[in-house]
Structures are given as C-alpha cells and as structure tokens.
C-alpha cells in the first residue's frame, strides 16, 4: 500500500539534510524584502488553506534562539494549495481571468470533503524554517484536479514552485544573518519529530496576496467551505 506520509517525510528530510551545513555556516538565503515589506511590489493569485495561530508555541521556542528573524503572524499562516499566478512585480489583475479561476474552483471543490493535516516536526531550507505537514493524498488530488481543469480551459498557470507536493507551512524566514547557527540547528533537530497540531481543513481561500500572505496586502477573492 502506498505510504504517502513516508514519501512526505523523505522529502522533508531531503530538504533539511541538504541545507543543514549551509545553515551552520551561515550560508543562507537572506530575504532583503523583509526589511520593508510595505515596498515589496510582488503580487499573485493563490489558493490556500488559512491556519491561524496553531504554530505559536513552536514559534515562541524559535524566537528564544533567533529573535530577530521574520516569523509569520497567525493572520498570515497558511498552506499553499496552488499558485495560479506566483508572486511577481509584473502582476496585472485581470477580472475576467479571476472569474475563470473562481468557476474552476467552484467546480473542483464540490468533489472534496473536509480532511485533516497533521503537523509534526520542523524542517529547514537555506531561506526558511517550515512546519512539516502530513495528510493522505487528498491535497495532492486537489492540486492535480485544479491543474487539470486550468489546462483544459487554456487559462494561464504560473506556479511559484513547480508542482509543489508537500503540505508544509513556512513559519520563519531569514531576515538577516543567524546569531547562533549551531543553537538554531540544535533547536530544529530537537523539534524534528515534535507533535505540533492536527488541523481540520474546512475552508479554502482564493486570494490576491503578496509573497508572504501578509494581512495588509491580502484580499480574499472567494471563500469555499468543504462539506
């Protein structure tokens, strides 16, 4: 029987193992835009799952080690289902195109019911720390169906990350050099298998937002409740 959780764990392990030495050496990807998010012009159209404050306890632990990095507030925490149009400074809002995406979402989401995502442990890349999300294949089936319908309709699809397969949520991004790389890696390793939360996905949002899904720049275009 196909073990989807095992596949996801292998992916999260791969991300951390390929980045650990870089983090220890402070060879990280610092996001310069985080110094002034208000001036960041990148916008896009995304389907996401809002998560709220489920990561506050683990964020508090990371802040004790690296207080000056960027942490996602509860209002911005999310899982990306799919980027119809990934964030870009060249983005132009097209009402007709937005309505076409809405029609696709209404059609596809009728086929899906509520499902759970279990968040267990942390992983980290060169630019961010992420909560590891696990579910059955529901999220992947949803992504595949949306891609299929968009392509069938001949509508533009410009995903930020090509065919994302994980159910992660980014909780911290590197805003500056790490104060104590070894302490940060130790904390991540300490939390690699920690039970963080089990979240029932009841609601899917279609949003116009910036790179960080910041509350100030996010506009909900449609909201869909799963049966």
Q: How far apart are CA 111 and CA 119, in angstroms?
A: 24
Q: Tell me how many domains the chain contains.
A: 1
| Interacting residues of 77 by C-beta distance below 8 A, sequence separation 6+ | 50, 51, 52, 53, 54, 55, 169, 171
Residue 107: CATH number of its domain: 3.90.1140.10
Strands in 128-134's sheet, in edge-to-edge order, are 70-71, 169-173, 128-134, 115-124, 195-201
Residue-range definition of the domain harbouring residue 163: 4-225
pLDDT tens, the chain, 227 aa long: 557 788 899 999 999 999 999 999 999 999 999 989 989 999 999 999 999 999 999 999 999 999 999 999 999 999 999 999 999 999 999 999 999 999 999 999 999 999 999 999 999 999 999 999 999 899 999 999 999 999 999 998 988 666 678 999 999 999 999 999 999 999 999 999 999 999 999 999 999 999 999 999 999 999 999 99
Residues 46, 52, 57, 59: what is their CA dihedral angle, to the nearest 10 degrees? 30
């Amino acid at each position: 029987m196909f073990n989807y959780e095992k596949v996801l764990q292998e992916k999260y392990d791969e991300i951390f193992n390929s980045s650990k030495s870089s983090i220890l050496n402070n060879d990280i990807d610092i996001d310069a835009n985080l110094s002034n998010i208000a001036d960041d012009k990148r916008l896009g159209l995304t389907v996401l799952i809002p998560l709220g404050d489920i990561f506050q306890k683990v964020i508090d632990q990371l802040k004790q080690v690296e207080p000056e990095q960027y942490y996602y507030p509860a209002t911005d925490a999310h899982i990306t289902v799919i980027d119809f149009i990934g964030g870009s400074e060249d983005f132009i809002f097209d009402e007709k195109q937005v309505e076409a995406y809405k029609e696709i979402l209404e059609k596809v989401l009728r086929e899906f019911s509520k499902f759970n995502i279990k968040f267990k442990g942390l992983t980290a890349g060169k630019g961010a720390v992420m909560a590891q999300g696990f579910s059955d294949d529901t999220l992947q089936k949803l992504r595949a169906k949306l891609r299929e319908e968009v392509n069938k309709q001949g509508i533009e699809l410009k995903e930020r990350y090509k065919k994302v397969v994980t159910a992660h949520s980014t909780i911290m991004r590197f805003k500056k050099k790490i104060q104590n790389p070894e302490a940060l890696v130790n904390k991540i390793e300490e939390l690699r298998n920690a039970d963080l939360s089990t979240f029932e996905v009841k609601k899917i949002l279609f949003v116009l937002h910036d790179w960080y899904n910041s509350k100030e720049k996010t506009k909900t275009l449609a909201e869909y409740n799963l049966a």
